[in-house]
């Protein structure tokens, strides 16, 4: 049976498995600190990817496959010095992915708590 680790390997993405069976969620973050903090509360997510901007094209292509095996898919990013282009590409191409952006004017949740509630 296809799983997220096989998809990540096929697209060259650095997937981390928290081994939270039966959870099937995927958390994608730009920044490992944000990713680790988010995984502490997003208990529906068993897999996570720290996506640098250079991985966005592969991630964008892989999301179609991830959507077949991961639920929910949550993308978190905090932009202070980072270019938000990566988030805008993913959100534009995959509107059903839950996203929380701060400072972009493109929030799809009213608060951090709301987006994390989707992952619990």
Q: What's the pLDDT at 51?
A: 82
Q: What's the pLDDT at 105?
A: 43
Q: What's the pLDDT at 20?
A: 93
Tell me the C-alpha distance between 43 and 71, whole Å: 12
pTM of the model: 0.72
Each residue's pLDDT tens digit, 64-112: 899 999 998 888 876 555 555 666 666 666 665 666 555 444 445 555 5
Q: What's the pLDDT at 75?
A: 82
Residue 6 has pLDDT above 60, yes or no: yes
Question: How does the average pLDDT of the chain come out, rounded?
Answer: 77
């Amino acid at each position: 049976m296809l799983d997220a680790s096989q998809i990540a390997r096929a697209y060259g993405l650095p997937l981390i498995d928290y081994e939270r069976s039966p959870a099937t969620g995927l958390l994608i973050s730009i920044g490992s600190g944000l990713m680790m903090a988010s995984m502490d509360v997003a208990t529906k997510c068993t897999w996570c990817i720290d996506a640098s901007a250079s991985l966005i094209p592969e991630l964008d292509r892989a999301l179609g496959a991830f959507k077949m095996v991961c639920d929910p898919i949550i993308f978190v990013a905090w932009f202070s010095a980072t270019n938000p282009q990566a988030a805008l590409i993913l959100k534009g191409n995959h509107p059903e992915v839950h996203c929380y952006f701060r400072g972009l004017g493109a929030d799809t949740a009213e608060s951090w708590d709301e987006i994390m509630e989707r992952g619990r």
